[in-house]
Homo-oligomer: A and B are copies of this chain.
Amino acid sequence: MDDLTEMLKGTLEGCVLEIIGSEETYGYAITRRLNELGFVDVIEGTVYTILLRLEKNGLVQVTKRPSGQGPPRKFYALNSAGRKELATFWAKWEYLSSRIDKLKEGGR
């Protein structure tokens, strides 16, 4: 698949929120999960910048735990502000994708 970076702007952060919302997890695993899901070119650096942004914006709760197979992991969980932001993200996605699909069908 072609380069999706521009199209991912605004949506990738929402995807990370969704992943965190479904299970407390950490950066490295989130990257692997995104790759599995078809976001094949998403790289760790990108995910970490998003995670730091989420933390800075007060949307997540962070817990550091030892790993046993590498450095300690930073686990992320959504707080109430994060859950609200996630809901907003899905509302925006619904809105946008419905308009785009309408346009695609030659919507007049």
Contacts and interface: CB of A to CB of B under 8 A. Distances in A.
A8 interface: yes
A95 B8 CA distance: 12
Copies in the complex: 2
| Chain A contact residues: helix, strand, loop or mixed | helix
A18 B39 CA distance: 25
Contact of A92 (B7, B11, B106): B7
Interface residues of A, number: 33
Contacts of A18: 103-104
A15 interface: yes
A103 B90 CA distance: 11
Interface of A: 1-2, 4-11, 15, 18-19, 22, 37-39, 88, 90-93, 95-100, 102-104, 106-107
B99 A39 contact: yes
Given A22-B106, A37-B102, A103-B37, A96 B4 contact: yes
Contact of A9 (B2, B9, B15, B91): B9
